[in-house]
């Protein structure tokens, strides 16, 4: 169908399926950002009713929009790649810190359990990595 102005009485309001038409936006290279009315395609049916709302764009406008969308998509892709790298880096750093803490806790536990380095703490036992408690001895 051809472009219709808003004052036109031939604006399509319902499709052949009996549904109210929906307004969508085209993002194709030939019609970027151009709005249209069409069958909603509910329940798997699509009758093909279609009507442009916006007038066609000149070639220069289409090229500008296409270029801007291309740059935006490239920047979003690059941002996602940076986020993935940061996420992996943080995960590796977190694993390294956890590994180091586990080693420290094991060393402290071994020192206190052996009673040879700090005999004055021999009456205490390690509870996980959180702290100590007095024994019932």
What are the residue boundaries of the structural domains of the chain, listed by start?
Answer: 1-57, 58-137
Model confidence over 62-85: pLDDT tens digits? 999 889 989 999 999 999 898 888
CB crowding 90-110: b at 16 or more within 10 Å, else e: eeeeeeeeeeeeeeeeeeeee
Model confidence over 80-117: pLDDT tens digits? 898 888 888 887 788 878 877 887 887 777 766 665 55
pTM of the predicted protein model? 0.49
């Amino acid at each position: 169908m051809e472009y219709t102005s808003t004052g036109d009485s031939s604006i399509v309001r319902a499709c052949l399926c009996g549904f109210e038409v929906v307004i969508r936006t085209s993002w194709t290279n030939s019609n970027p950002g151009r709005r249209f009315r069409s069958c909603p395609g509910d329940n798997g049916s699509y009758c093909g009713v279609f009507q442009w709302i916006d007038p066609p764009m000149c070639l220069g406008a289409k090229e500008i929009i296409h270029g801007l969308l291309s740059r935006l998509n490239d920047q979003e892709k690059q941002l996602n790649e940076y986020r993935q790298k940061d996420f992996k880096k943080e995960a590796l750093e977190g694993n390294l810190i956890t590994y180091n803490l586990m080693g420290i806790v094991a060393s402290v536990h071994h020192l206190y359990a052996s009673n040879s380095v700090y005999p004055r703490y021999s009456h205490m036992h390690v509870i996980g990595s959180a702290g100590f408690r007095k024994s019932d001895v």
